[in-house]
A and B are shown apart, each in its own frame.
Chain A
Amino acid sequence: MAFVAFFLALSGLAMAQTVQRTQEINQVVMAEQILTPDGHIYLTVKNNSGVAITGMAMTATKTAIDATSGRSLQSVRYFDSIVNPFGPGGQSISPGESYRFSLSGPLEKREIVARLRAVIFADGSTMGEADWIQRLIHSRTMDLYYIDQDLQILQNGKASSEPAEMMGQKAQNLSDSVFHSSASTEDKQVAMGLCHEVLMYLNGNFDQADAPDQRVEKAISQLLTRRQRLLVSKPKLDETGPVPSGS
Chain B
Amino acid sequence: MTSWRLGSCVLLLLFLLGLCVGRTAHSDNLCPVSNVSYKNFYDGCGTYDWELVASTPYDGYDEGDYIVYGYCAGGYTMCNCTIVPQYDVYGSLNFFTQVNEDDSTTFWWDIDQWNSPTFSGCTSGSCQSTGVVIHTSGYIEFDVGYDTAYCDQ
The judgment on whether A and B are partners is yes
Residues on A facing B (Cβ under 8 Å): 1-3, 5-7, 9-10, 40-42, 62, 64, 70-80, 83-84, 86-89, 102-108, 139, 143, 179, 185-186, 188-190, 192-194, 196-197, 200, 205-209, 218, 222
The segment from B2-10, B13-21, B63-71, B123-131 that touches chain A is B63-71
The reply to whether B106 and A185 contact each other, CB–CB distance below 8 Å, is yes
Residues on B facing A (Cβ under 8 Å): 40-45, 47, 49, 51-53, 58-67, 69, 94, 96, 98, 106, 108, 110, 112-115, 133-151, 153
Q: List 24 A-B contacts (CB under 8 A).
A: A2-B43, A3-B45, A6-B44, A41-B64, A71-B58, A71-B59, A73-B61, A73-B149, A77-B144, A87-B113, A102-B52, A102-B63, A102-B65, A104-B63, A106-B62, A185-B98, A185-B108, A189-B96, A189-B108, A197-B140, A207-B135, A209-B134, A209-B135, A218-B137
CA gap between A206 and B58 in the complex, in Å = 38
User: What 12 new A-B contacts, CB under 8 Å, besides A6-B41, A189-B143, A206-B136?
Assistant: A3-B45, A9-B40, A70-B58, A71-B58, A71-B150, A71-B153, A75-B148, A83-B142, A86-B139, A107-B51, A189-B146, A193-B110
| Residues of chain A with a CB closer than 8 A to B112's CB | 196, 200
CA gap between A67 and B110 in the complex, in Å = 32
The reply to whether A76 and B145 contact each other, CB–CB distance below 8 Å, is yes
Q: Which residue of B lies closest to A180 (CB)?
A: B98
CA gap between A88 and B43 in the complex, in Å = 16
Select one of A72, A83, A107 contacting B60, CB under 8 A.
A107
Minimal beta-carbon separation of A22 from chain B (angstroms): 19
- Decide: A84 near B135, CB < 8 A? Known: A1-B44, A73-B148, A105-B62: no
CA gap between A82 and B134 in the complex, in Å = 28
The reply to whether B146 and A87 contact each other, CB–CB distance below 8 Å, is no
The reply to whether B115 and A87 contact each other, CB–CB distance below 8 Å, is yes
The reply to whether A75 and B63 contact each other, CB–CB distance below 8 Å, is yes
| Residues of chain A with a CB closer than 8 A to B149's CB | 71, 73
The reply to whether A75 and B62 contact each other, CB–CB distance below 8 Å, is no
Select one of B62, B113, B115, B143 contacting A78, CB under 8 A.
B143
Nearest first, the 5 A-B pairs at minimum CB distance are A193-B142, A102-B64, A2-B44, A77-B145, A107-B62
| Residues of chain B with a CB closer than 8 A to A72's CB | 150, 153
- Decide: A193 near B143, CB < 8 A? Known: A206-B138, A207-B137: yes
Minimal beta-carbon separation of A17 from chain B (angstroms): 14
Select one of B44, B110, B115, B150 contacting A73, CB under 8 A.
B150
The reply to whether B44 and A3 contact each other, CB–CB distance below 8 Å, is yes
The reply to whether A74 and B148 contact each other, CB–CB distance below 8 Å, is yes
- Decide: A185 near B43, CB < 8 A? Known: A193-B140, A196-B140: no
Minimal beta-carbon separation of B122 from chain A (angstroms): 12
Select one of B63, B108, B114 contacting A105, CB under 8 A.
B63
